[in-house]
Structure 1
Amino acid sequence: MKTFKIKSFIFLLATGFCFLATSAFSQQVADKIIVKVDNYIILKSELELSYQNYLEQSDQTPPPDAKCGILKQLLFNKVMYAKAEIDSITVLDEQVEAEATNRLSTMVQRAGGDEKKLEEYLGKSLADIKEELLEPIKEQLTIQKMRGEITADAKVTPSQVRKFYKNIPKDSIPFLPAEFEVAQMLVYAKVSKQEKERVRKQLLDIRTRIKAGEDFAKLAKEFSADLGSAAQGGNLGYRERGELVPEYEAMAFSLKPMEISEPVESEFGFHLIQLLERRGNLINTRHILIRPKPSKEDMVYTNQFVDSLRNLIVKDSLTFAKAVAEHSADRNSKNNGGRITSMQTGSPKLVAEDFDYNTYLILDTMKVGSVSPPLPFRSPDGKEAVRLLYFIDKSKPHQANLKDDYEKIYQAALNEERAKMLDEWFYTAIKELYIDIDEEYNTCGLLEGI
């Protein structure tokens, strides 16, 4: 049997603008069904959009069979989705709803936090945008779950890793860019008691208005600083225990259905919470979030506090790791000495593309082992903070080798093993499915060897 390797073409499914651009894009393409897999289809517009995404992400001339490779990946995904239905592999509707809410929030942030701008750009309401996200997100999450089950037993031994590396042609061994190891200590500005009291009073006034008959959803859209949920009338969808910050969760689980809480303070600000429904350890809530705003004096005090910690670190009276453990507000790095990890790989070894432009410029002026002066910082959700950066280490650009890059080579070998398992699974799975390919695309050899 002749098999094909799952190629590493970039295929973005339901990632905000890319997915929602499909409707506009398809108007420019003479759309038609090009592949059927049981009850699921692949449209010509899907292929063309995925190909355009690939071209935009790649800085190299695409190979002649690039579009066929992308279609193979699309077909593979549809086969997994169809087979998941047969095998009763499902994801919870609540999980799909929560992911749709998160992605809509991200889209609003990318639009500068302007909901109307996003609606105008896409030509539809936020409610319609979210509705269109649900099905492709369900498909994507199901495929991820199916892929995980297929490759759950994948493993490679050290000898297999070495063999994998030796089999790479010398002229194909990747040249790795410089890698950085950086830690941060993040301190949010403390706001005054007077400012916190102002926010509490504002939320109590809003609570009174709701109890008097005003619409919670309308007031959430008007006042809430949580832009993603505000677009949905403050609704966060169904969440399990442990998914929400402790203060919010404790209050939400103590409420009766449709009851509205007093203002609750968390690390994000103050919440007015309404419990919509509870199903065991699942709760469906909505909220209005208002953040106290630090004054100029608050920012000056925070900057001075962080600078005093820096002086202790520079004098070796305090380690950076201890300062992070005692004072940093970044939960993602607090327990590992403040090390920043890549959002793409989760690795603490970062490349230039992992940093925003300003952070990279700062690192470019620092020496390994040094600590930056206090730096102003704004979190993705708009909170004002001050941070220190600790430049731990920097590697030189080099060709990958087993001594310095074993973990990367191990992951590459493991991914190859997973790809083999997926290939074998694919050619078994398609025998259980009805597949019809448009004649125009038969030259791609999608089912070659069957």
Structure 2
Amino acid sequence: MRFINNRVVLFLAFAFLGLNFAAAQEIIPEKVKDSVKPKLTPGAKLKVDGVVAVVGDFVVLDSDIDLTYKELQASNMPISDVTRCELLGKLMEDKLYAHQAIQDSIVVSDAEVNETMNRQIDYFVENLGSPDKMVAYFKKKNLETFKAELFDMIKNQKLTEQMQKKIIDEVEITPEEVRQFYAKFTKEDLPTFGAEMEVAQIVVKPEISQAEKQKVIDRLKEIKKEVQDGASFYSKAVLYTEDKASASSGGYIPVNRKSQLVKEFKDAAFSTDEGQISEPFETEYGFHIVFVEKIRGQELDVRHILMTPKVTPESLAKAKEKIEKIRAKIVNGEISFADAARSESDEKDTRNSGGLLMNPRTLETRFELTKMDPTIYNQVADLKDKTISEPIMDQDRLGTPSWKILTVTNRYDEHPADYAKDYTKIKELALKEKQLKTIAKWSAAKIKETYVKVNGEYRDCKFANNWLKK
């Protein structure tokens, strides 16, 4: 939890590797076809491992390609049609970004890398059974060797991400460019947008008693005293924090003034001295204490422990009774769903919009059915237009229960792109195309001015970029 809120397929696969393994459900080994390996020239000897390419200050080993295959397998990405030449080309792109990121003084902290690495290792161990099985799966000598290689890979990936972000951050699209992008399609070639719907909700959260809040505050104060008496904050966070995203890294969260964190959290972090622990404070997620481990100007290394007060059965029952009354008023025509959401819903993110859910991917209210959250889709799939669901018990990311009712406010059938109706989506496609062209132009220029060498049989690869500088 953060307190916030073709080549393209391969590009996205690598973006996925940049650290979203938690979305995968299980590791399904997939054999790599022999045909994906580069053909050797007659008489050539296959190295067990070796440098296959050099880009600036970075090298790419044959084993790096093998490791990338393994990570793609581990994240359930299809690999049967991905060749070693394609993976080498993408790895070289990443090295080019990382090399240039260092030239541009882009910094990625070891703490940030370790946090991500620990999260990935936890995922692998959970799916493979044990650290030893993980090491064997990736064919490494021992856990230390695996960690060292994974650390370097993650650090380079983060440098790559920041360099790419820097390249495209200034890319903007004008209305005229959007019009030209749309105009280049014939009627038959127009992009097709899938069936969509708009969904609204009303949420009633159970009231938390002051007694339950005080229990959490007292426990956090006890933990603070234990740490001041010599206990490890890291260990306490691993054991007790309810923030699952940071638990494995001892509650670590990097903080700066621009961090997308709730105000109360940033205020507490910046008002706590280095080496000190804050008093318990409340946010919308519960109660926290923060330990400021290191201050570097406006950059803080912070660890925190989050605890949430518990909902009593009596409070949960009262919340259900309240939402049933709200539903009855809507069904009886005493109030519209939108007005009820504005006046009665406890979900502030949707209350002001009449309960309309926001698509986090597009920042619009429409949800494409094939890309919709399966849980929400299952809750509204059988609802007819303007009908109201029965009360549904829901849980937030911390497991705190609440009650909600849902309705489908609009449905949109699958249709070819329409410039007037789908302008925002068309603009998004046009911007992505312009960003890819900008990255390609940047890469071509940097390849010319960067030392690049490709060794052995890989020189026969058909790369998308001009790595051989022919």
TM range (shorter): 0.7 to 0.9
Match of 2:60 in 1: 42
Contact 2:118/2:249, CA 8 A, preserved across alignment: no
The alignment partner of 1:388 has SS state of strand
Structure 1 residues 160 and 274 mapped into 2: Cα distance closer, same or farther (>3 Å)?
A: closer
Structure 1 residues 122 and 384 mapped into 2: Cα distance closer, same or farther (>3 Å)?
A: farther
Give the structure-2-normalised TM-score: 0.75
User: Matched residues in 2 for 1:248 and 1:332: separation?
Assistant: 19
Match of 1:387 in 2: 404
Once the 2 structures are TM-superposed, how far is the Cα of residue 395 of structure 1 from its aligned partner?
1.2
The alignment partner of 1:240 has SS state of coil
Higher mean alpha-carbon deviation, 373-382 vs 333-342, is at 333-342
Higher mean alpha-carbon deviation, 197-206 vs 67-76, is at 67-76
User: Matched residues in 2 for 1:198 and 1:126: separation?
Assistant: 41
User: Matched residues in 1 for 2:307 and 2:168: separation?
Assistant: 44
Aligned match of 1:33 in 24, 40, 51?
A: 51
> Unaligned 5+ residue runs, structure 1?
none
User: Matched residues in 2 for 1:331 and 1:107: separation?
Assistant: 36
User: Matched residues in 2 for 1:104 and 1:190: separation?
Assistant: 36
Once the 2 structures are TM-superposed, how far is the Cα of residue 399 of structure 1 from its aligned partner?
2.9
Given residue 178 of structure 1, which amino acid in structure 2 is its aligned partner? A
The alignment partner of 1:426 has SS state of helix
Match of 1:224 in 2: 241
Give the structure-1-normalised TM-score: 0.78
Query: Does residue 13 of structure 1 match 2:29?
Result: no
User: Matched residues in 2 for 1:273 and 1:257: separation?
Assistant: 11
Structure 1 residues 441 and 337 mapped into 2: Cα distance closer, same or farther (>3 Å)?
A: farther
Aligned match of 1:245 in 262, 271, 278?
A: 262
Match of 1:178 in 2: 195
Aligned match of 2:295 in 258, 269, 278?
A: 278
Once the 2 structures are TM-superposed, how far is the Cα of residue 366 of structure 1 from its aligned partner?
0.7
Within-5 A mapping of 1:199-218: 199-218=216-235
Structure 1 residues 162 and 391 mapped into 2: Cα distance closer, same or farther (>3 Å)?
A: same
Structure 1 residues 160 and 122 mapped into 2: Cα distance closer, same or farther (>3 Å)?
A: same
User: Matched residues in 1 for 2:202 and 2:328: separation?
Assistant: 14
Structure 1 residues 267 and 134 mapped into 2: Cα distance closer, same or farther (>3 Å)?
A: farther
Counting aligned pairs with the same residue, the percent is 26
Give per-residue Cα distances to partners, 1:333-390, cap 9 Å, x unaligned.
Answer: 4554443334444443222344343422221111233332221112223222222323
Aligned match of 2:250 in 230, 233, 245?
A: 233
Once the 2 structures are TM-superposed, how far is the Cα of residue 37 of structure 1 from its aligned partner?
0.4
Aligned match of 1:419 in 436, 439, 449?
A: 436
Once the 2 structures are TM-superposed, how far is the Cα of residue 131 of structure 1 from its aligned partner?
7.7
The alignment partner of 2:394 has SS state of strand
Over 6 Å off, 4+ runs: 114-118, 124-133
User: Matched residues in 1 for 2:375 and 2:49: separation?
Assistant: 43
Query: Does residue 350 of structure 1 match 2:367?
Result: yes
Higher mean alpha-carbon deviation, 237-246 vs 97-106, is at 97-106
> Unaligned 5+ residue runs, structure 2?
1-5, 31-36, 38-47, 137-141
The alignment partner of 1:350 has SS state of strand
Number of residue pairs matched by the alignment: 435
Structure 1 residues 303 and 105 mapped into 2: Cα distance closer, same or farther (>3 Å)?
A: farther
Structure 1 residues 151 and 243 mapped into 2: Cα distance closer, same or farther (>3 Å)?
A: closer
Given residue 195 of structure 1, which amino acid in structure 2 is its aligned partner? E
Given residue 56 of structure 2, which amino acid in structure 1 is its aligned partner? D
